[in-house]
Structure 1
């Protein structure tokens, strides 16, 4: 019987992200996907929060993201149409999240899945099997056997893995036909919402004087290329409506001119047979601009100008049922759920894909310990990694993450669905007043987008909250103290393939201190896949230049890094966002902290003022994940 480390059911963004993340940790997986081709109809179109950060960490480059997406410039809320004046605007094109990558992007999901498939095809650790439908799961004490049918071949096949992960969607086999019998089901989450929407994907072409010679804007001096920004403005837009609120905006590469238009149907509303005709009826007010919204001699126009509908190609138009749900348990034994199999969201929070890849990143290093950890600690015969402890901390952290995502979705939904003119007027007034105080607005937006709290507040999570743990590190550009190469800070903590990495937040002044640091981290003699052998020393340029001694063996045992400025990052070919600030990384730590333990998913495990405190924290981390 064929064997692998992890069997992943489903090759959507969540399942493939997990496979790629595991491959970086040298863990083998087989991904079973029911379909052969990627669905070319874009479903989810937005990545929010740390999605770009995670995808970068698992190897999707900024250049590749540019081929399938565009950064989201902002989110706008309107009383009426998306070509009117918004009552609230939230810019996304600054480094509000302190992660040096876009706060949000609007993507072609088929393109993202193809990029992830490409990673799978070239990896020696991933086997992607298409046209394979899972029909049975048998869990044993030390493994899971998965039975599947392969299209075009008779009979069934069985593959054995130490763990099986269901990433096969909200109606997938793993939960519906295996785990539900064990009491695992999706229940209403923190956002009690349920409605039917119409979702439409459009591809827009611009009229020209030759194709539409009587279009009135030619007489006002407009060029065809200007009509895209005029009628189809950048960003994403939420529009109030007495009965059918709208969520709409650009997605995919900007040159392709894709547009998503979604609107909520009233309860018990039956969509007409002519769905495209109903879509056109809903869109016409948005695509109609009054003379006052035009330049030049627009006052001479007696009627509003409507964008020609024959320049709009409807790629998809149909109803979709939206609800926010999450599983009551995330795993049973050796079978685990991630992505839509574990949770679903309404679309106006852009939390679907990002929540799935967050599941994958947090699970990957835990599965790495469980799959390969025990064989790497033969000298610790009394110790083994504790499956339930590792998976419970993961599921608790992810449940809080899903609840936070639900609250963000609910906030957008409140603005989108409110019928209160008073509330909208109050929001507009507050936003206007705050805009007069740029520093206050900057602080509020950073607080809203930064997500620095990470997993703080999770009971029994894998971190020490009472010792500065649980928060999320900022991400900056850093450079080697010697070779001056510039890269993103997250990659340093991931490259060690260890669950934890020691970060030195100051530059040790003596050889004796370097020796003491080494002894503190090595005295426990822990495996290298749990605590990285090489520490990271992040120090300012002055201290490094004054005290770095290349011949020192103690210093060579650590990786010396310094923050990179926006200019240095630009010279190295990167594109820092406006408001990029290299000092944000250190500001996420306590001012008195000299050392920190950083998880490979950029969560701070703990912070220490002394080496004695650090050594105790390392011991506690080990005890939390083992049966010692």
Structure 2
């Protein structure tokens, strides 16, 4: 029997993200995946919110993301076809969430899974077992045993772990065959929506004068490369329709020319046997442009022009059931659910993969405490970890996160399904009016897309809400100590492998003040996987003067976080997003706060004005996770 720390069932984005996050914390896992090969049919196609931020912190680089994805330029809401003028357009390019990385991307899911598999297979802490189907699960007070069949050998095996995580989808074994008999099931969430859609993945090639000599746009001077933007415009598009609303747009790497087209079927509608033929019928109006929408070069056309259907390869076309559901409980003793096993969404808000990897990041540091040897360091046996409470805080925070994601999905869905021309006109008028007030529009868009509230709304989260906790830190570029290089601020807090890091929000003036900070952080002699041994100090004075480290950098046990201006970022070879603000990191904390405890998943645990208050907060944090 093989033994490990955590057994993960399912090697999709959620399960692999958890395995990789655990490996960073030196926690061993076995990942059991039913299939051998990655499914090449892209299902989810988008990431939203802090998803790219999480992938970055677990090791997926921006260069690797460019190979499988492209940033989403805007969201477009149309009264008719996706080639018509939108009645509402919401830009996605600016750094609305103050996280440096794109807040929305359209991806090729098989590519993302391959990147995560590569990370897993390269780690000594992860054993990825493919072609392994789980057939049994049993719990004891101290571990979980999972029985699986290996298709390659036709043998049956058992792996034992301290915890098991079901990341095997909405129909997976862990919930359907084990936890449902314990009363755990998916129920309708905050967005009460359920419908059947047709989902199609397309790969488009451009016609040329040689392949399509009679295509009328050659007469107007169009080049083949121009037809992509003309007939298949950038961004993502939501199109109103009296009976069959449409969600559609580009996905995957820019050069791939992949396109997703989804449309809702009316209730009790029976899809014809020729699904591709029905898809073509629905798409033809979108791929037809009237003469008024074309430029002329001494020529004009009297009839609409349709993009040639023989340049469209249908990779997948079939019905899909869309609903927003979430489990009534996220775990039972030592068995936990994440990803689609725990929650599902309609695709209007790109919250599927994003929510799954949020589950993984928040769970990873808790599992590190639960299985990473913390108990052997607990005050010589006078305290023990409060296991159920740690998982309850995670599930409470994740339920809040799922509800927030559902509200965003519902907002997009409401505009998509708006049947009233009057409502569309009212939205258009409101958007036009706000456009004349750029500061107001900026404020509204930042408020709509920002997720700075973090988990503050969670009822029983791991933070001190009455002491500035629960909100999310911004991410900025920070400067290297001497060489002028830049890195991302999130990595500083993650690299400690600890649940909490002490952040000093001012430069200590004297050695005595620094010594007092060190005493406050070490007085309780807490485990290093709970409170990081290295303190992080914000050196934001550099934003208004020459960017140099303060004198107190000679103190070796501190990492100085020096914000990098947009100019410094550009000189280092990076391209900051529009609205990048190096002061955003400090602005997420109270102006009077001098110290903060920051979790490794970007959440602020607490903020303090004095060292005495800080010491008290450290003690509270420890008492929250233990029975002391």
- TM-score normalised over the length of structure 2: 0.98
1:6 maps onto 2:9 in alignment: no
Aligned to 2:382: 382
Q: How does 1:179-328 map to 2 (within 5 A)?
A: 179-297=179-297, 300-328=300-328
Distance 1:549 1:621 in 2: 28
Q: Secondary structure at the match of 1:156?
A: strand
Report if the CA contact (8 A) 1:292-1:299 is conserved.
no
1:181 deviates by: 0.7
Displacement of 1:381: 1.3
Alignment pair present for 1:370 and 2:370: yes
Alignment of 1:525-544 (within 5 A): 525-539=525-539, 540-541=541-542, 542=545
Q: CA deviation at 1:333?
A: 0.2
The answer on whether the counterparts of 2:478 and 2:561 sit within 8 Å (CA) in structure 1 is yes
Contact 1:376 1:527 (C-alpha < 8 Å) held by counterparts: no
Q: CA-to-partner distance for each residue in 1:132-172, whole Å, 9 max, x for gaps?
A: 00011110000000000000323411010000000000000
The size of the alignment, in residue pairs, is 625
CA RMSD of the aligned region, Å?
Answer: 1.2
Q: CA deviation at 1:437?
A: 1.0
Which runs of structure 2 are paired with 1:73-84 in the superposition (5 Å)? 73-84=73-84
**Cα deviations by residue, 1:326-372 (Å, 9 ceiling, x for unpaired):** 00000000000000000000111110000000000000000000001
**d(CA) in 1 for partners of 2:106 and 2:500?**
32
Partner of 1:147: 147
5 Å-filtered alignment, 1:104-503, equals 104-297=104-297, 300-377=300-377, 379-503=379-503
Instruction: Work out the CA distance in 2 between the residues paired with 1:378 and 1:331.
Output: 25
**Aligned residue in 2 for 1:28:** 28
Cα distance 1:298–1:87, how it changes in 2: closer, same or farther (>3 A)?
Answer: farther
- Name the CA distance, whole Å, in 1 between partners of 2:362 and 2:601: 6
Compared CA separation, residues 250 and 547, structure 1 to 2 (3 A) = closer
Would the alpha carbon gap of residues 298 and 344 (structure 1) be closer, same or farther in structure 2, given more than 3 Å must change? farther
How big is each residue's C-alpha offset from its partner over 1:15-63, in whole Å with a ceiling of 9 and x where there is no partner?
A: 0000000000000000000000000000000000000000000000000
Structure 1 residues 407-441: Cα deviation after superposition (integer angstroms, max 9, x where no partner)? 11111110001111111111101110111111111
Contact 2:481 2:549 in 1 (8 A): no
564-573 vs 507-516, greater mean Cα deviation: 564-573
Q: Which residue of 1 aligns with 2:594?
A: 594
Instruction: Return 5+ residue gaps in structure 1 as ranges.
Output: none
| Contact 1:291–1:299 (8 Å) recurs in 2 | no
Note closer, same or farther for the CA distance 1:481–1:162 as it changes in structure 2 (3 Å cut): same
Aligned to 1:556: 556
- Mapped to 1, the partners of 2:546 and 2:136 lie a distance apart of 60
SS at match of 2:5: strand
Distance 1:374 1:516 in 2: 26
Paired residue for 2:93?
Answer: 93
Does the aligned pair in 1 maintain the 2:476–2:564 contact within 8 Å?
yes
In structure 2, distance between residues paired with 1:305 and 1:545: 61
Question: Offset of 1:544 from its aligned partner?
Answer: 7.7
TM superposition shift of 1:482: 3.9
Q: What do residues 360-415 of structure 1 show as CA deviations (whole Å, max 9, x unaligned)?
A: 00000000000014355154311222111110000000001001111111111100
How far apart, in 2, do the equivalents of 1:385 and 1:558 lie? 28
TM-score by length of 1: 0.98
